[in-house]
Structure 1
């Protein structure tokens, strides 16, 4: 990039930072971050922190496997519980299922809750929703958030991957940890108060979350007084937790604000790219006003999506959006970078289940140096991916076009049914 281009990008980034308050996120300053791009590195760090824990450990994950990655994490949890540390683990009734590890946890004193452990792990007290979040917290001083499940990097349905999964997680220390802690506590209370009516349980669970967000120790939260807000200066982080009670559109809104203010570049990477109309329109408007919009899409995990997602390509390609399909390995990362100054890392896919139904958690970064590292990883993945050529796409056969339309129409109908009309 030329010096003039770099200066322009920096100027655009400062504009985005100066307007961050409109996103209504609770940003904090004074945090330290570390970006992980491989599960193996993330698990090593997590285990080290668990082994050093003195008071508490909390973990929430969609998938916990008894494999080469999950067993060492499980052993660390058991060791911590046996030496008197309070250990809490939340797994999903569908994503994880029943493991022999659970009995070992109970015997060692690990407290375990299953989210929506209903009929075959599909339909429970919280309807069809899942906890898709990947969160960890140790001693209320360090937290992790991202898209990495507790599963071996090379594991895949039907065999082993040739390369490790493409995924990310962020280690957090500082005032933002209080927000992650509050979200984990709220989720734990929801699952612990199972005998109470759903709405009453949720209301009680959200009390400590609201309190923690407003009084996070040491954090310089934005001051709000009758609609006026004091914006933070310098690097800052916000934690965004999506649920079905008070934060139904929180993550989607964070994306919409960033995309709406983009002036130079938008990089998106997501394994399940099926956004609703608002996100699609925001990306199209950005491309039409001259923003370099690039979308990296995962393939070869769910055949139905592989057929349905290409239906969206026509409109995006016509607007000038660059699309590439990543097939080197399993693309599981849910990340974005806007104008090299705003980024998000988390568990939320850009599809109906993540944006409307499931419990998700992302972090939003502004002006942190880790954004450059994430951007570089995304650009490298784009170079390794297969670009979608507009001419070749337009030359698809009629049977292929019909299959794309049928798959997409079926997806929309099913998602509207599952989300009770929430998916647009």
Structure 2
């Protein structure tokens, strides 16, 4: 083998090892606390930052210069002043160039911006993740940006956003920490460093990757079957974990036997996920879908185009308009749940950097289920008969909006969106 061929082989081995490291793993002995709304999340986050002794790492899509943003900013400044290493990642489009950022370098806060322009070196993608790790001991993952709960694009909301995050302690925190670390390095050098993630296999390990994958699957199944609470951190990117979050949803929906509760603000998934929901309803699973409204007008017109096949299969659909539904959550059979940043649309499932936490047999799932059912009660149910009687003009607008969205996403995802 030539020297060039040898280098390629070693590189391929490293990448394959890394690929299997990146696939999500379930761990036990974690502490999970469900946080509902920004009120609970900011109180918990600021308390942890104020107690930090070594490090704080924060990644968010939106960081606003409002009351909530100032409170988090003040906590970060206090931590940096104590000698804590503070790092913040914000998105180049989701977050404006805030005046508070100007004081960060002098205060010792390190700040990096992901993809500063609409089309940058990372293409069209955004970091839509909402993550934090304090002292490598406490981690956060969810859908809550650093923004006031009652503000939305300059308008006052009647009630706080409907949104969630989780506070985590235990082995899963290391996975969140590694994800932020990789993102931090990637922004700096413009690509993912080969040494930024530990591969599952050492260079001298001769065991097959297939065997490694089977061992991980067996370990996951043992945790689930034993009824032991376990947690997995599931992230997607445009390099290796392209469909990680979508596959997590598909696996849970495919195994559902009794109930699927799903709440999401932007429901425009591809055919696989829609078919999975249809098949579940047809085999007798009670499927309830709660969809957010009144944030993006185009989606308000486009999403109802998908209702026909879902309603015919028996899926119960409700549109939530009490306030801004921003939570991206689901519960299946009362023993599987997910909380995170990923919408169920082409941008989240195919383009953006996203992160969810998957919970199995955890006691916090009961509280999440209760919250989703509460949203169902507050939402407007879509009646199939009334839906079928929509005027031709409304049907036409819905079709045009859906078709336009689909074409645009096909282009942006280079044909990946189906």
Contact persistence 2:140–2:166 (CA under 8 A): yes
In structure 1, what is the Cα distance between the partners aligned to 2:183 and 2:174? 14
Structural mapping, 1:354-373, within 5 Å: 354-373=348-367
Structure 1: gaps (5+ residues):
1-23, 195-200, 216-222
Corresponding residue to 1:162 among 153, 158, 161: 158
In structure 1, what is the Cα distance between the partners aligned to 2:236 and 2:282? 30
Pairwise CA distance, 1:330? 0.1
Question: Which position in structure 2 is the counterpart of 1:283?
Answer: 277
In structure 2, what is the Cα distance between the partners aligned to 1:158 and 1:387? 29
Question: Which position in structure 2 is the counterpart of 1:381?
Answer: 375
Indicate the larger mover: 132-141 or 151-160. Answer: 151-160
Pairwise CA distance, 1:352? 0.1
Pairwise CA distance, 1:97? 2.0
Structural mapping, 1:270-309, within 5 Å: 270-309=264-303
Residue 38, structure 1, aligned to residue 26, structure 2: no
Question: Which position in structure 1 is the counterpart of 2:258?
Answer: 264
Contact persistence 1:146–1:362 (CA under 8 A): yes
In structure 2, what is the Cα distance between the partners aligned to 1:386 and 1:41? 27
Residue 210, structure 1, aligned to residue 198, structure 2: yes
Structural mapping, 1:5-404, within 5 Å: 25-117=24-116, 121-194=117-190, 201-204=191-194, 207-211=195-199, 225=212, 227-228=214-215, 229-230=218-219, 231-232=222-223, 233=226, 234-404=228-398
TM, length-normalised to structure 1:
0.88
CA separation of 1:297 and 1:178: change in aligned 2, threshold 3 A: same
Pairwise CA distance, 1:225? 4.4
In structure 2, what is the Cα distance between the partners aligned to 1:159 and 1:226? 49
Q: Secondary structure at the match of 2:398?
A: helix
CA separation of 1:328 and 1:181: change in aligned 2, threshold 3 A: same
Pairwise CA distance, 1:263? 0.6
In structure 1, what is the Cα distance between the partners aligned to 2:350 and 2:28? 29
TM, length-normalised to structure 2:
0.89
Question: Which position in structure 2 is the counterpart of 1:218?
Answer: none
Pairwise CA distance, 1:209? 3.0
Pairwise CA distance, 1:203? 4.1
In structure 2, what is the Cα distance between the partners aligned to 1:123 and 1:26? 33
In structure 2, what is the Cα distance between the partners aligned to 1:150 and 1:224? 42
In structure 2, what is the Cα distance between the partners aligned to 1:40 and 1:107? 30
In structure 2, what is the Cα distance between the partners aligned to 1:319 and 1:84? 58
In structure 1, what is the Cα distance between the partners aligned to 2:106 and 2:398? 50
In structure 1, what is the Cα distance between the partners aligned to 2:29 and 2:196? 23
Q: Deviations over 1:181-227 (max 9, x none)?
A: 00000000101114xxxxxx3142xx44335x899xxxxxxx96472
Question: Which position in structure 2 is the counterpart of 1:4?
Answer: none
Contact persistence 1:40–1:69 (CA under 8 A): no
CA separation of 1:378 and 1:56: change in aligned 2, threshold 3 A: same
In structure 2, what is the Cα distance between the partners aligned to 1:141 and 1:151? 25
Structure 2: gaps (5+ residues):
1-22, 203-209
CA separation of 1:80 and 1:305: change in aligned 2, threshold 3 A: same
In structure 2, what is the Cα distance between the partners aligned to 1:398 and 1:38? 39
Pairwise CA distance, 1:105? 1.2
Question: Which position in structure 1 is the counterpart of 2:5?
Answer: none
Q: Deviations over 1:251-271 (max 9, x none)?
A: 000000000000100000000
Contact persistence 1:35–1:171 (CA under 8 A): yes
Contact persistence 2:320–2:380 (CA under 8 A): yes
Q: Secondary structure at the match of 2:163?
A: coil
Q: Secondary structure at the match of 2:87?
A: strand
Contact persistence 1:144–1:170 (CA under 8 A): yes
CA separation of 1:33 and 1:214: change in aligned 2, threshold 3 A: farther
In structure 2, what is the Cα distance between the partners aligned to 1:362 and 1:377? 18
In structure 1, what is the Cα distance between the partners aligned to 2:201 and 2:319? 42
Contact persistence 2:24–2:234 (CA under 8 A): yes
